[in-house]
Amino acid sequence: MLSHLSKLLAPLLVFAAGLLPGEVVGRPRENCLELRLQQEVNSYSSKVGDRVQAVLIAPFRVDGLDRIPTGARVWGEVAEVRRVGVGFVRETAMLTLRFTEIELSQQERLVIQSQVVTIDNARERVDSAGRIRGIRSTNTPGFRAAGLLTSLAAVDPIALAFSTAAFSTLLRFSEPEIRLQAGTELLVELLQPVSLAPLPPPLFGLPEPLPTELLARLPYRTRTAERQLESDITNLIFAGEAAAIERAFLAAGWQVPEEINSATRYRTLRAMAENQEYREAPMSLLLLDDQPPAQAWAKALNTFAKRHHLRVYSTRERWLDRPLFTAAATQDISINFSRGRDLFTHVIDENIDRERGKVVNDLLFTGCVEAVGNVPRPWVPEQPFNATGQTLITDRQAAVLVFNDCLHGKRFDEPVAAAPGPHRGNRAVRIARQTVLTFRNDIYRGSLWYQGASILTQGFRHYRRAKTTFQPQAGPTIIGTAPKKPKLAGDPATWAPPLVELSLQAGLMIFSSSSIGAEGLRIAQPHHPDQVMTLRAAKRVVPAFALGGAVTVNQFRWFSHELGFGYQRGDFKMDLDGVASVVEQRSGFLTRQFSYNALVHLRPKESRWRPYFAVGPVLQLVHLTDAPFTGARGLFRFGMNNVGMFRAAYSFGSVPPLEGGGIFQTGLQMGGGVRYRVSPHWTLRFDYRNTCSPRPDLLRKSLEPQILPERLERGKIAQQRLSLGFAFTF
C-alpha cells in the first residue's frame, strides 16, 4: 500500500474562465471577490471586532465586465471566534470574517455586505452561513486508524503499550485551532449587488501575434514516465528567461516540490494521515516530448489533499528574442481511492482553464509580467482524459505570458500588521488539549464497533465513488502508442537514506541452559498449619518460536531508535521432586515484550549493509498458556481457568499464574544484527536479542496463602531470540 502512496498522481484542478480572443485570461467568478489576507487571523488569539485587511488579487466582474481592479484594498473584521483552548468545552474551532469596505480610490470607499464562500486549498470548511469551521483532531485518517488498531491491541497491555508508543512516534496530533496566515486566499461573495462603472480595457495585450506555425510545433500533451499514458494538457506558454520565471513564481508564493524518495514519501503519508500541510510535497513525474520538467511549482495552504501545481517544460523555440517555455497547470482538490492503479490518488476539478487563470492572476500580481494574452489551439482534443481516466474540460486555448527580468517582484505575503498573538498555545496547553480531546473522543467514539463501522462506511463510500470516477484507460492511448512496462529500480547510489522502517520478524527462542532454574517452596497445609512440606519444583523451558515487529526511526546517521513488540513462546515443563503422584507437567510459556532499543550502527545510513549493536530496557508479561495441568492429585491438583483474553491481560496482579494470571517484569535487552536494503522500500534484517530478567516465581505467586516467609532459591532467566524478517522502508 505505502509503495503506491509514493506514486500519488499530482494532477489537476482549476476554476474556469471563459476566454475570448483578445481578452486577458484568468477572469474571476461573477459577483465574487478573490482576496488575499495581508495579516494573520487565528482562532486562538483573535478577538471579535479585530480589524482585518485583504487585497483583491483578481478583477471584480459584473455582467462580464471588470468593475474593480486587482490590487484594491478590502477591510473587514472578525465577527465571531471560538477557540478550542484546552478542549473541555468544544472539539473544533470556529471563525467568521465579515468584509465591509473596498477602497476604490484614496477618496472613495464602497460599503459592501459579504460572506466568505471558501478558503483556497484549506483543510477547514466554510458552512452556508460563512462560518469557517476547523477540523476535529480526533477525526483525521491517521488518528482514526491508530484508534482502531489500538483498540484491537487493548486486549493485551504489552501490545497496547507498543501500539500507543509506535503511533505517537510515527504520527503527530493535528492542531485543531484555525490559523489563516498572511497570504491566505479567500473567495468572498457579495450579498447585495453594487453599481459600478466598467473599467477601461486592460493594456496587457501581446505586442505581436504568436505565429501559428510556431504554436503548432509546441508539444501539448504530457505522459506518465512509467506507463507512457497520456495525462495533462499544457495550458500556459511563457516567454522569458528561466531565472525570471523562477523569481516570479517565488514572489507569487509558489514552492519548489521536493524530489520523490523514501523520506518525502514518509512525509507525504504523514501529511495525508494527519490532514496537515506539506507545501513542498513531491509531484509525480510527467514527460513532455520525452523530456522531464525544467521547473515544477506548487502552492498549498494547510493540507496535502489540495494544492495548485504546474510543470514547466523547455522548448527549442524563441519568440520576442526570449526563450519559450510551456506549462501544464492543474489543481488537486481531494484524495480518493483509485481502482486499478495506485491505492490513493488526487482528485481534480476537470475544468483546467480556471487553474490557468489562477496562475496568470498570481503572476500578474507580482508585476513580473509585461504582456499577456491567449491563443487558440483547435488541434487540441475537446475532452481529453488524463492518466487516471478523468475527463479534462478545456476551451483549447493557451495563455501566453511575457516576463520582464522580475528583479523587484511584489511578494504575495507581505503583512501589513502583526499577528494577533500565538496561534496554538504553549507546550503545556497543547499537551493538555491533546489529552482532553483524546479522552473525550474515547468516551464518545472509542468503542471498537464504532470505529470499525465508521471506517467501513467511509471506505465503502469512497469505493463507490471511485468505481465510476477512477477507471484507468486500458490499451493504446488516443494517439495509438502502447503503454510501456514500469521501469526497474534505479541505481542504489541514488536511493535516499532510510528514515523510518516498519518491520516484521519470525524466528527461534532459546532459553539459557533450556531452564529457568528451580523454585523452592515451604508450604503449610491449609487445615494443618503445623504440617509443613518442603517442595522443589524443577522447571525447564524448551525452545520454541518467536514473532515480532518493530518501528525504527533513523534519526541520525549512525544511531537509531527502535520500538519493538515480541510474542515469544516456549514449552514449560515442571517436576515436583519427592511427590510420586505428580508426573511431569507441561504448559506453554509465553512472553510478550515491549522494548526500546538504541541502535549503534557500524556503517552510515546511506549504506545498504548496516551491522549494528542494540541495547535498551524491556517491559514483559510472562504467563502460562495451557489449562489444565493434568496428573496432579489432592493438594497438587493445580488448575488453570480458561478466563479469556481480557482477564488474562489485565488481572495479572490478582489472578495467580496457575489460574490464568501472569507476571509483569522489567529487564535489559542486548544484541545486534545486520540489515541489507534490497530496494528503495524493502530491507532484509537478521536480529539477535538476549533479554535478561528475574526468574518468574510462577508457583510462589499461585500458592501465596500456603507459603511460609522464606523462599529457598532465587535466579534469573535469559531469553535469546534469533529472527529473520523484512522491513518496509521510507
At 324-349, the pLDDT tens digits run: 999 999 988 887 655 544 456 777 77
User: Residue 699 has what pLDDT?
Assistant: 67
Q: Helix, strand or coil for residue 149?
A: helix
Picking from 69-73, 237-241, 573-577, 692-696, which range would have the lowest pLDDT averaged per residue?
A: 573-577
Inter-residue contact 266 to 500 (CB < 8 Å): yes
Task: Check whether 17 has a pLDDT greater than 60.
Answer: no
User: Residue 600 has what pLDDT?
Assistant: 94
3-class DSSP string for 208-223: CCCCHHHHHHCCCEEE
Give the whole-angstrom CA distance, residue 308 versus residue 414: 20
Give the whole-angstrom CA distance, residue 221 versus residue 227: 15
Task: Check whether 464 has a pLDDT greater than 90.
Answer: no
User: Residue 305 has what pLDDT?
Assistant: 86
Question: Quick count: other Cβ atoms within 10 Å of Cβ 531?
Answer: 9
Picking from 238-242, 310-314, 497-501, 584-588, which range would have the lowest pLDDT averaged per residue?
A: 584-588
Q: What confidence category does residue 481 fall into, taking pLDDT thresholds of 50, 70 and 90?
A: very low
Task: Check whether 180 has a pLDDT greater than 80.
Answer: yes
Picking from 32-46, 116-130, 467-481, 535-549, which range would have the lowest pLDDT averaged per residue?
A: 467-481
pLDDT digits (tens, 9 = 90+) for 341-375: 445 677 777 888 889 999 999 999 999 999 999 99
Bigger pLDDT: 429 or 646? 429
In this structure, is the dihedral angle defined by the CA atoms of residues 660, 663, 664 and 669, taken in order, positive or negative?
negative
Residue 442: HSE in the Cβ half-sphere, 13 Å Cα cutoff:
11
Task: Check whether 656 has a pLDDT greater than 60.
Answer: yes
What is the chain's mean pLDDT, rounded? Answer: 79
Inter-residue contact 541 to 574 (CB < 8 Å): no
Give the whole-angstrom CA distance, residue 222 versus residue 210: 22
Picking from 95-99, 136-140, 156-160, 217-221, which range would have the lowest pLDDT averaged per residue?
A: 156-160
Cis-peptide into 628, omega within 30 deg: yes
Inter-residue contact 727 to 680 (CB < 8 Å): no
Picking from 80-89, 185-194, 246-255, 656-665, which range would have the lowest pLDDT averaged per residue?
A: 656-665
pLDDT digits (tens, 9 = 90+) for 281-316: 888 889 998 899 999 999 999 988 899 999 999 998
Picking from 122-136, 159-173, 246-260, 664-678, which range would have the lowest pLDDT averaged per residue?
A: 159-173
User: Residue 143 has what pLDDT?
Assistant: 83
Inter-residue contact 353 to 482 (CB < 8 Å): no
Percent of the chain residues past pLDDT 90, beyond the cut: 37
User: Residue 443 has what pLDDT?
Assistant: 78
Task: Check whether 612 has a pLDDT greater than 90.
Answer: yes
Classify 71 in phi/psi space as left (phi over 0), alpha (psi -120 to 50) or beta: left
- The angle that helices 141-153 and 262-274 make with each other, rounded to 10 degrees, is 90
Task: Check whether 40 has a pLDDT greater than 70.
Answer: yes
3-class DSSP string for 558-620: CEEEEEEEEEEEEEEEEEECCCCCCCCEEEEEEEEEEEEEEEEECCCCCCCEEEEEEEEEEEE
Classify 320 in phi/psi space as left (phi over 0), alpha (psi -120 to 50) or beta: left
In this structure, is the dihedral angle defined by the CA atoms of residues 71, 75, 80 and 81, taken in order, positive or negative?
positive
Task: Check whether 77 has a pLDDT greater than 50.
Answer: yes
Give the whole-angstrom CA distance, residue 718 versus residue 716: 7
The whole-number average pLDDT for the span 680-684 is 88
Cell for 476? 493504446
Q: Domains of the chain (ranges plus CATH)?
A: 1-19+217-410+424-487 (no CATH), 32-135+174-192 (2.40.128.260), 494-729 (2.40.160.20)
Q: H or E element: which one contains 690? A: strand 682-694
Give the whole-angstrom CA distance, residue 506 versus residue 163: 19
Task: Check whether 235 has a pLDDT greater than 50.
Answer: yes
Cell for 283? 509531484
User: Residue 7 has what pLDDT?
Assistant: 35
Q: Which residues contact 525 (CB under 8 A, 6 or more apart)?
A: 531, 532, 533, 635, 706
Which of 64-68, 129-133, 463-467, 571-575: highest mean pLDDT?
129-133
Cell for 598? 538504541
Give the whole-angstrom CA distance, residue 547 versus residue 297: 46
Which of 14-28, 271-285, 502-516: highest mean pLDDT?
271-285
Q: What confidence category does residue 665 fall into, taking pLDDT thresholds of 50, 70 and 90?
A: confident
Q: What confidence category does residue 270 fall into, taking pLDDT thresholds of 50, 70 and 90?
A: confident
Task: Check whether 14 has a pLDDT greater than 60.
Answer: no
Q: What confidence category does residue 55 fall into, taking pLDDT thresholds of 50, 70 and 90?
A: very high
Q: What confidence category does residue 639 fall into, taking pLDDT thresholds of 50, 70 and 90?
A: very low
CA 255 and chain centroid, separation: 19
Percent of the chain residues past pLDDT 70, beyond the cut: 74
Picking from 123-132, 156-165, 402-411, which range would have the lowest pLDDT averaged per residue?
A: 156-165
